[in-house]
Amino acid sequence: MSTKRRNLKDFVFETSETVGESQQPASMLALSSIVLPSKQPRRYFDPTKMDQLIQSVKEYGILENLLIRPIPDQDGQYELVAGERRYRAAQASGLLEVPVTIRDLTDSEAISIALVENLQREDLNPVEETEAVLQLLALRLQCAKAEVVSLLYRMQNDVSRLTDNVISQPEAESIKAVFTELGLMGWESFVSNRLPLLKLPEDILDALRSGKIEYTKSRMIARVKNEQLRKTLLAEAIGSGLSLNQIKERVSSFNNAKPQQEESESAPVKQRITSILSQVQKTKVWSNPKKQKQLDKLLSQIESLLESE
């Protein structure tokens, strides 16, 4: 990508006046000439905030240009690069034209700009933010997101072991540079606090994506081992607005209750075994020739059961 050494924020938010003579000036364009890209870095928009934006657009129009690029072999058609909320608000408001800035961008540049533009928004939820950062890193390193995750964990392990095996590698330096340019958080914080989000149960991820619960609370709820209890706690946390401390208390009580329940359920079995052993010692059943074969068979079954554990 030709802009690798430029600050990512500046690359996204440059206007037609600052880019240079080759930059086309802002102009009005028919909304019907603009289409959304096939891969959207953002999947959730807060309905309340969207309604507020729609009302603003109806009253004042679109105040910030949409960034678009020409679609090859489709004359007069453009793909949206940045400004999806404004695009959707314009549609909902019935606008026929919108102000745009047109730029010739490669696929990689367009995706990078869309990702960074979204990462600068305050209302981006933590799951989408995490996924966007990983996608941006994958683009920079030209590898799969799974490889990025693996490299991040290796970097964390090397830091904890005070070694430079991975940190000195160019890939690691590129990762650190992206986090510096974004200015959102350090890569260490991202690994510790954000990557674990992607391992959360799907119902918790959905609640996070829709903004129904904070990520600190979601990580605590995910510690509940019993699926049904976890779902119940998630619903209660959302419906009643439980605090993090209240959630911690419930998680602790749930997880502590489970071993006690298992102990209670297994108690009758333990008591029967103890009672049977006592009777065997008293009656010396193994001395009875008629019962030896049956006893041997039962002992073999018990041994087989123990070996399977």
pLDDT of 13 higher than 80: no
Nearest partner of 47 among 91, 81, 93, 88, judged by Cα? 88
Average pLDDT over residues 277-292: 70
Quote the CA–CA distance of 128 and 115 in Å, as a whole number: 10
pLDDT of residue 16: 34
Average pLDDT over residues 192-205: 88
Instruction: Using the structure block, give the residue that is written with the tokens 């650190």.
Output: 176
**Banded pLDDT at 91 (limits 50, 70, 90):** very high
- Residue 295: count of CB within 10 angstroms of its CB: 13
Kind of pairing between the strands at 34-35 and 27-30: unpaired
Phi and psi at 31, nearest 5°, equal -60, -30
pTM over the 0.75 mark: no
**Out of 175-179, 241-245, 282-286, which region has the weakest mean confidence (pLDDT)?**
282-286
Structural element, H or E, at residue 153: helix 145-160
Quote the CA–CA distance of 99 and 30 in Å, as a whole number: 9
Task: Provide the β-strand partners of residue 79.
Answer: 35, 69
Percent of the chain with pLDDT over 90: 23
pLDDT of residue 34: 93
**Out of 16-20, 21-25, 222-226, 254-258, which region has the weakest mean confidence (pLDDT)?**
16-20
Alpha-carbon distance values, 4 to 23, 246, 296 (Å): 19, 46, 76
Quote the CA–CA distance of 196 and 202 in Å, as a whole number: 13
